[in-house]
Amino acid sequence: GLTGGASGNPLEAVTDLLGGITGGTSSDPLSTLTGALSSVTAPLQNGIDALQGLESLKTDIITSTINTLESSGIHILPQAADQISALADLGTLTFETSEATVNGVLDAVSGALDLNPTAVSDALTGVAATLVNSGTSATWILSGLAGGIDSNPLESVTDLLGGLAGGTSGNPLEAVTDLLGGLAGAGSVGSFDTLTDVLGSVSDAVHGLIDVGETLVVSTAEVTADTAHALVDIVDVAADSTLDVVETLLNSLESISTSATGSSASLGGLTDLLGGVTSSLGSVTSTSQGLGSVTNLLDQLFDQNLSVV
């Protein structure tokens, strides 16, 4: 009875029992585990698609608003068209970089869920390239705002004051000296009083224009600095948030691994891959710090503008 008798197999009871546990010879012993993983990854993939759609929609709305504000600003202040366009370009670059970074990192997570190392690598490479290109573009824009290759933020102010003072081809005191000479020859004290009042009004007007110029330069530099720092902060937050998502995913998969008998080895490849994703994302975060040089450049240019004013 224990050995199965002459007509039976003494191991039959054992093999039947093992067959029932593993699913028998006609089924995959990992099918249950695969089904469990699918139930976890499918909602995550749907969530990733939804997040990418929202990120793209947000960027479209914001960039459209920036374009509208740019057109209105140039219409109101055509003298500052170059500065307004540069600020609009910097704002658009900021949010487009945010969209590309967030969606690229989400693509990397999606590739990890699909156990596709190539997709993960391509996505992270694209994120790094976006950060480098955006940093270069921001540097050129900021250089133009600060008086570099494109324009001088003080140019409009100096041109305006130059026109009031007589310009480069004339003598700004010529009209005044001629008038004083005429008045001195006439010897009219009342005319001198009138002239003093007029010159006082002109002086007040010029001081007012100088104050406007200082406000324009300082405000432009401050807005540019805030926008550049925001670009770095957005990239850092996007990378940190994605790292949190990956770590949560790892913890969930490890929990499934420990609760399923014999499934730890099967999940080894997935956990290793996700571990590589977190390391790669860490390097992307470090790469984003390279944009700090842009903000440092801006701070130096900002200080130079203040010293000129």
For residues 253 and 269, the answer to whether their CB atoms sit within 8 Å is no
For residues 263 and 256, the answer to whether their CB atoms sit within 8 Å is yes
The pLDDT tens digits of the residues spanning 91-122 come to 999 999 999 999 999 999 888 888 888 999 99
Residue 17 lies in a domain: no
Residue 14 lies in a domain: no
Residue 34 lies in a domain: no
**Backbone dihedral angles phi then psi of residue 3, each to the nearest 5 degrees:** -90, -10
For residues 290 and 132, the answer to whether their CB atoms sit within 8 Å is yes
For residues 134 and 90, the answer to whether their CB atoms sit within 8 Å is no
Residue 52 lies in a domain: yes
Nearest to 271 by CA among 249, 244, 245: 249
Structural domain harbouring 175: 46-308
Q: What is the pLDDT of residue 83?
A: 86
Nearest to 302 by CA among 235, 242, 219, 241: 219
Residue 57 lies in a domain: yes
Residue 18 lies in a domain: no
**Residue ranges for the chain with pLDDT beneath 70:** 1-39, 146-309
Q: What is the CA radius of gyration of the chain?
A: 35
**Backbone dihedral angles phi then psi of residue 173, each to the nearest 5 degrees:** -100, 0
- Please state, in angstroms and rounded to a whole number, the distance separating the CA atoms of residues 27 and 267: 19
- Give the residue carrying structure tokens 């995959």: 28
Residue 37 lies in a domain: no
Q: What is the pLDDT of residue 286?
A: 54
Residue 278 lies in a domain: yes
- How buried is 161 (Cβ within 10 angstroms: 0-12 exposed, 13-18 middle, 19+ buried)? middle
Q: How many domains does the chain have?
A: 1
CA dihedral 220, 225, 226, 232 (to 10 degrees): 150
Q: What is the pLDDT of residue 59?
A: 92
| Three-state SS sequence of the chain | CCCCCCCCCCCHHHHHHHHHHHCCCCCCCCHHHHHHHHHHHHHHHHHHHHHHHHHHHHHHHHHHHHHHHHHHHHHHCHHHHHHHHHHHHHHHHHHHHHHHHHHHHHHHHHHHHCCCHHHHHHHHHHHHHHHHHHHHHHHHHHHHHCCCCCCCCCHHHHHHHHHHHCCCCCCCCHHHHHHHHHHHHHCCHHHHHHHHHHHHHHHHHHHHHHHHHHHHHHHHHHHHHHHHHHHHHHHHHHHHHHHHHHHHHHHHHHHHHHHCCCCHHHHHHHHHHHHHHHHHHHHHHHHHHHHHHHHHHHHHHHHHHHHHC
* Cβ atoms < 10 Å from Cβ of 184: 11
- Please state, in angstroms and rounded to a whole number, the distance separating the CA atoms of residues 272 and 265: 11
